[in-house]
Structure 1
Amino acid sequence: MSFDGFFTHAMVNELNTKLSTGRVSKINQPYENEIIITIRANGSNYPLLLSANPSYARVQITNIPYSNPEKPTNFNMTLRKYLNGAILNKVSQLDNDRVLSLHFITRNELGDLQEIVLITEIMARHSNIILINGHDRTVIDAIKRIGSDKNRYRTLLPGDNYINPPKQDTINLFEDDSLELISELDKRFPNAEVLAQNLQQHFQGLSYNTSLYLANTLHENGEVKDKINSFINVYKNPSPTITEQNNKIDFTVYPFQFNNNVKQFDTLSEMLDYYYRDKAQRERTKEQGNLLIKIAKNELKKGKRKAKKLQKTLDETKNADEYRIKGEILMTYLGKVQRGMKSITLPNFYDNQNDIEIKLSNKISPSENAQKYFKRYQKDKNAVSYVNNQIKINNANIEYFDNILSQIELANPEDLKDIKLEFKQEGLLKNHNYHNNAKHKKVKISKPESFISDNGIEIQVGKNNLQNDKLTLKSSDKREIWLHVQKIHGSHVIIKSFNPDDETLVQAATLAAYFSKARDSANVPVDYVQVKHVRKPKGAKPGMVIYDSQNTLYVTPTEDLVEKLRKNYKKSKPF
């Protein structure tokens, strides 16, 4: 199910129940197209997420942690100016469309009461969040400003009159049950899928899955009016469910019979947190790490091109011995060689059965021709050592940037600042004087994530190269246990124990496998060893270590275990 008009209706009911009459305490914009407004209601704080993300636009209460940028955006500052301390009067929906409005009551600069409305339009890549004056519908600001060059129907700029999105000529089933039309469609289309497509054309806010559910409901026995009321009641009293159909995970407001139900939740918001946790985080990471991804991919591309050139050079130097042999044969039969000859065929004493043809320069002496072959031999011999060393360095660079891309893929947005710092230190970000400025401010590396095993032992996981280096080489006791997935890019994991039990070892190995490129694999080999057996080679890139004396465990990573160990840690934290 998508976040369609019917789902929006159910979400509006949930938000009104939990947030109505609540007061705004915080407003943050942690990501480019997303706002989080913390509302204090009924003795609790509710972080309300308004997302205009092109792929995952939605409105929900969220408990997924986030980190704020160092400097708030202009739109965030505008929201704080108008909404800090405001009371949420109600949440409303435009007809049965995916347009959700938060109606706030606050006081203006003169102390008079005024209504400010914050509108979220959920429309894929056209999604937007708009702040308007509730009295005259004037646009105060929008998270995505839209000028006349982008939309001729309406503009969304400060001072413009807010115009609702274009309305489709369809029926709002919450206001008009259209019994005759639905009965006619039900009789005309006995196939549920065909009926679903036709229902979408006549009724507002129906995604295909919602329409299919309505079609299946209509095909059941009973009066049409009762079946419509039953369908509508699902959205007034939802039972949020994660489902699976054709190997595709989806979210619904009800455990529909034509799906395999996976997990049920108490609220729609909890369900959306579960569903979007990885998807939305990857999208946010991609948005914020776009420059880092671009740099890593460009360096990786350059490294692969260089690898081909170096291999070509190495292949050319394989003939070095041939130049030596020709030089020695020329010196042996120097008396037979005359100045001005362009080539000569001489006996090959390295191969008694065949003679060898040797090309000559007619402008130099026979002795100089022999010396020319010896010089070429020495040059190629020296080149072999140099090229092999360059290949080793280049392969390390390829491995490094491939590892960086893996880290970004697995990272949360807040983990990117360490990777950005690492790129600055490595001189990969242009227009940055990190190395030139002796008085540069020391940036603190973020802490690794902590987990607690079922037996109460802390396990720490590094999420990037700087965290990994600090965790393994500086902050860990040499007697503690270090883990890493075998021969695959992944996190450094430390068990904060000198002699952990077998269950803790397996759980730590599962974390190492989960926070690696092998996350979606089964039976993943994970090496573990005491920290004292792990060392960093001289001149190695950040995050690169070697180790010995290891043992190996085979585990299959699961998100459920990771969340369980994460919750164990949260429960253990002192308040």
Structure 2
Amino acid sequence: MPIDGVVTRNIASELKSTLTGGKIDKVSQPETDEVILSIRNKNENFRLLLSASPNYPRVHLTNTNKRNPINAPMFCMVLRKHIISGKIINIEQFNLDRIIKIYIECYDDLGILSNKILTCEIMGRHSNIILIDEKSNTVVDSIKHITSDMSSFRQIMPGIAYKYPPKQDKINPLEFNCDDLMERISKNTQDLKTEKFIANNIEGISIFASREIINNAGIGSGFSILNLSGEKTDALMDSVKAFIQKIIDKSFEPCIYYDDSHATDFYSFRLRYLGNFKSDSYKSISETIEKFFYNKDKADRIKQKSADILRVVNNNLNRCLKKLSIQKEKLLQCSSKDKWKINADLIMSNLYSIKKGDNNIKALNYFDEKGSFIDIPLDIMLTPVQNAQKYYKIYNKYKNAEKAVKVQEEENLNEIEYFENQLINLQNCTEDDEIEEIRNELVSQGYIKKRKKTASRKRTQSKPLHFVSESGTDIYVGKNNVQNDFLTFKLSNPSDIWMHTKNIPGSHVIIRTSNKAVDQKVIIEAASLAAFYSKAKNSSNVPVDYTERKNVKKPSGAKPGMVIYYTNKTIYITPDDNVISNMKRIE
């Protein structure tokens, strides 16, 4: 559910009561479109997240720590210059629009007290964070610059006067009058659903909120506004007024709605039309938004940061698959090599009956159990022996080609397996460091050009997933090849149990045995993890091999993550979210 004007009012109200009077101690910009302000107020520390992400724009208090780039972006430097040590004197929403304005009192370069406005526009891909000088109403800087080439109506560039986004012809609910809405209904000629009409004509009301309004009015979803009359019109007016009164009174009750175990929607009010969904209520809208968006936003950013690696892996995988097709075709051609040797052998066995100048010979094929005769074409310019040598040469050509292609095919199949594993690794990655490990691995293998050296912090090795089974046994899951090799050959002991999906790309899984026997339930739990973190995640009866770690070896010269093993057993498992959710995960 997108953040609408009602949710924005809830956010602004909460931030105003929590942060007004606070001092800005620190400004950081961990992402290109995200800023975090560290604020001290009433002997408490707060972290305010401002995001202009095109997919998940939002403003809320957060407890999440993010790693900052070693070189601060320009917008971050501008904010540090102007608002560090500044005092927040007010936070307000513009009308009932998705715009939050943070008024900051600070000193300029000359030591003169001045006011700045940090404006957050929460508008999908048009979202922005803009620092404005209040006195001159000019833009100091913004996290996204909007030039005249991008918008002829409104530019956002340093030194340009700030202008609000284009105003829509909608009713301001904070100044609501039933007559205005009735007039619009009477003048309307479009065959619109009632909920769509309400969302189109009242500012700050999203389609989700308008569905609640018509549900409370007893009007069915999809009912045309053209058919509205009499009692239904009165019921709609009463429902709109009641909903707007809740907005004015700020009677917020933030909650998240779940479909099965997945969060599907959230809102600042309880929505009766979603009564069949499981819901959780929260005291804070910030807590609600963070819980709803955190994993979605994190997955989206990981996807963006791994996009170039994914493209390289897919391109190389497609190249290998095309090469495999050519190799299969070549092997098919070589499979008929024996007929050339038979031709040569039959010519040599019938030399006495062949004369130079003959263009063919009909010979008994003594290699055929039925004793059939075959016609063998001859070159009239060659002697019988030379014709036989010609066929032997063709046979040897195909024989040698077949031998070489089989070696190339095996190497190509190993490369295909490697890239398919990398696709699974990219899906399993949840941290920036894990993406960088895959990038560095591909650089070392020669698939990606090495970047020019730039200043960067020393990276620590990422950690594999750590689960604890219901019986208390530690289970580890690798998320990329670096983690897989670390798990298998450094972290684990020879007596530990090693697991991997059979002939299917996936993660290495280690069960810590502590030199004790492992019961079957732990084997099933670990096998569920191996299947879940593999290409067969959505399949059933997935074969998972397991053996003692001492039976797993890494061949000399093998690519990262590639191993061989023996004396294994196989268990067939269907990945189950419930089994995995019952296991405790150690962060």
Q: Same fold per TM (> 0.5)?
A: yes
Looking at structure 2, the residues matched to 164 and 345 of structure 1 have their Cα atoms a distance apart, in angstroms, of 94
Looking at structure 1, the residues matched to 544 and 362 of structure 2 have their Cα atoms a distance apart, in angstroms, of 61
Q: 2:159 aligned with 1:143, yes or no? A: no
Taking a change above 3 Å as real, the CA distance of residues 131 and 527 of structure 1, as seen in their structure-2 partners, is farther
Q: Name 1:199's counterpart in structure 2.
A: 198
Q: 2:273 aligned with 1:258, yes or no? A: yes
Looking at structure 1, the residues matched to 212 and 290 of structure 2 have their Cα atoms a distance apart, in angstroms, of 24
Other structure's SS at 1:104 match? strand
Maintained 8 Å contact 1:522/1:557: no
Q: Name 2:494's counterpart in structure 1.
A: 478
Looking at structure 2, the residues matched to 282 and 230 of structure 1 have their Cα atoms a distance apart, in angstroms, of 38
Q: Name 2:256's counterpart in structure 1.
A: 241
Q: Name 2:399's counterpart in structure 1.
A: 381
Q: Name 1:22's counterpart in structure 2.
A: 22
Q: Name 2:74's counterpart in structure 1.
A: 74
Q: Cα offset for 1:151?
A: 1.0
Equivalent residue runs for 1:21-420 within 5 Å: 21-64=21-64, 66-173=66-173, 175-182=174-181, 194-219=193-218, 223=238, 227-229=242-244, 231-232=246-247, 236-244=251-259, 249-259=264-274, 260-266=276-282, 267-351=284-368, 352-414=370-432, 415-420=434-439
Other structure's SS at 1:95 match? coil
Taking a change above 3 Å as real, the CA distance of residues 145 and 18 of structure 1, as seen in their structure-2 partners, is same
Provide Cα deviations, 1:404-451, integer angstroms capped at 9, x if missing partner: 1222123224121111110111111125599xxxxxx99753232434
Q: Cα offset for 1:452?
A: 4.4
Looking at structure 1, the residues matched to 543 and 345 of structure 2 have their Cα atoms a distance apart, in angstroms, of 54
Q: Cα offset for 1:258?
A: 1.9
Provide Cα deviations, 1:138-195, integer angstroms capped at 9, x if missing partner: 222222212111111121122222211111111121x212223446778999xx9822
Other structure's SS at 2:193 match? helix
Q: Cα offset for 1:336?
A: 3.0
Taking a change above 3 Å as real, the CA distance of residues 492 and 155 of structure 1, as seen in their structure-2 partners, is same
Provide Cα deviations, 1:13-34, integer angstroms capped at 9, x if missing partner: 2323333333334433333322
Q: Which moved more, 1:217-226 or 1:300-309?
A: 217-226
Looking at structure 1, the residues matched to 254 and 379 of structure 2 have their Cα atoms a distance apart, in angstroms, of 90
Q: Cα offset for 1:511?
A: 4.0
Looking at structure 1, the residues matched to 458 and 179 of structure 2 have their Cα atoms a distance apart, in angstroms, of 72
CA RMSD of aligned residues (A): 3.3
Q: Cα offset for 1:559?
A: 7.8
Provide Cα deviations, 1:86-120, integer angstroms capped at 9, x if missing partner: 33333322221122223223222233332222222
Looking at structure 1, the residues matched to 416 and 581 of structure 2 have their Cα atoms a distance apart, in angstroms, of 30
Looking at structure 1, the residues matched to 569 and 66 of structure 2 have their Cα atoms a distance apart, in angstroms, of 37
Maintained 8 Å contact 2:106/2:113: yes
Q: What residue identity is the alignment partner of 1:258?
A: Y
Q: Name 2:506's counterpart in structure 1.
A: 490
Looking at structure 2, the residues matched to 166 and 215 of structure 1 have their Cα atoms a distance apart, in angstroms, of 28
Q: What residue identity is the alignment partner of 1:409?
A: Q
Q: Which moved more, 1:284-293 or 1:406-415?
A: 406-415
Q: Cα offset for 1:11?
A: 1.9
Looking at structure 1, the residues matched to 582 and 105 of structure 2 have their Cα atoms a distance apart, in angstroms, of 39
Q: What residue identity is the alignment partner of 2:308?
A: L
Q: What residue identity is the alignment partner of 2:394?
A: R
Q: Cα offset for 1:545?
A: 2.2
Looking at structure 2, the residues matched to 555 and 42 of structure 1 have their Cα atoms a distance apart, in angstroms, of 53
Looking at structure 1, the residues matched to 53 and 248 of structure 2 have their Cα atoms a distance apart, in angstroms, of 30
Q: What residue identity is the alignment partner of 2:207?
A: Y
Q: Cα offset for 1:300?
A: 1.0
Maintained 8 Å contact 1:27/1:76: yes
Q: Cα offset for 1:265?
A: 3.8
Q: Cα offset for 1:509?
A: 4.3
Taking a change above 3 Å as real, the CA distance of residues 146 and 223 of structure 1, as seen in their structure-2 partners, is closer
Taking a change above 3 Å as real, the CA distance of residues 225 and 384 of structure 1, as seen in their structure-2 partners, is closer
Provide Cα deviations, 1:221-276, integer angstroms capped at 9, x if missing partner: 6956762355526864123122449x992222333222232231423333333333
Q: What residue identity is the alignment partner of 1:552?
A: I
Looking at structure 1, the residues matched to 277 and 123 of structure 2 have their Cα atoms a distance apart, in angstroms, of 27
TM-score (norm 1): 0.87
Looking at structure 1, the residues matched to 62 and 583 of structure 2 have their Cα atoms a distance apart, in angstroms, of 19
Maintained 8 Å contact 1:241/1:254: no
Taking a change above 3 Å as real, the CA distance of residues 231 and 495 of structure 1, as seen in their structure-2 partners, is same
Maintained 8 Å contact 1:131/1:141: yes
Taking a change above 3 Å as real, the CA distance of residues 534 and 562 of structure 1, as seen in their structure-2 partners, is farther
Q: Cα offset for 1:503?
A: 6.0
Other structure's SS at 1:258 match? helix
Other structure's SS at 1:474 match? helix
Q: Which moved more, 1:355-364 or 1:299-308?
A: 355-364
Maintained 8 Å contact 1:6/1:235: no
Taking a change above 3 Å as real, the CA distance of residues 502 and 333 of structure 1, as seen in their structure-2 partners, is closer
Q: Cα offset for 1:10?
A: 1.6
Maintained 8 Å contact 1:24/1:87: yes
List runs of 5+ in structure 1 lacking aligned partners: 435-440, 571-575
Looking at structure 2, the residues matched to 84 and 564 of structure 1 have their Cα atoms a distance apart, in angstroms, of 44
Q: What residue identity is the alignment partner of 2:466?
A: S
Provide Cα deviations, 1:363-392, integer angstroms capped at 9, x if missing partner: 332212111211221222222222122112
Q: Name 1:438's counterpart in structure 2.
A: none
- Which residue, 534, 538, 543 being the options, matches 2:556? 538
- Which residue, 440, 447, 459 being the options, matches 1:428? 447
Looking at structure 1, the residues matched to 2 and 452 of structure 2 have their Cα atoms a distance apart, in angstroms, of 47
Other structure's SS at 2:335 match? helix
Looking at structure 1, the residues matched to 450 and 102 of structure 2 have their Cα atoms a distance apart, in angstroms, of 43
Looking at structure 2, the residues matched to 553 and 350 of structure 1 have their Cα atoms a distance apart, in angstroms, of 47
Taking a change above 3 Å as real, the CA distance of residues 199 and 223 of structure 1, as seen in their structure-2 partners, is closer
Q: Cα offset for 1:199?
A: 1.1
Taking a change above 3 Å as real, the CA distance of residues 486 and 431 of structure 1, as seen in their structure-2 partners, is closer
Provide Cα deviations, 1:501-533, integer angstroms capped at 9, x if missing partner: 666555544444443344455665554443222
Q: Cα offset for 1:305?
A: 0.8
Amino-acid identity (%):
33
Looking at structure 2, the residues matched to 417 and 524 of structure 1 have their Cα atoms a distance apart, in angstroms, of 30
Maintained 8 Å contact 1:132/1:140: yes
Maintained 8 Å contact 1:284/1:413: no
Q: Name 1:437's counterpart in structure 2.
A: none
Q: Which moved more, 1:274-283 or 1:369-378?
A: 274-283
Maintained 8 Å contact 2:213/2:240: no
Q: What residue identity is the alignment partner of 2:352?
A: G
Q: Name 1:573's counterpart in structure 2.
A: none
Maintained 8 Å contact 2:121/2:129: yes
Maintained 8 Å contact 1:31/1:284: no
Q: What residue identity is the alignment partner of 2:375?
A: E
Maintained 8 Å contact 2:54/2:126: yes
Provide Cα deviations, 1:441-496, integer angstroms capped at 9, x if missing partner: 99753232434455555443322111111121122222233333444333223344
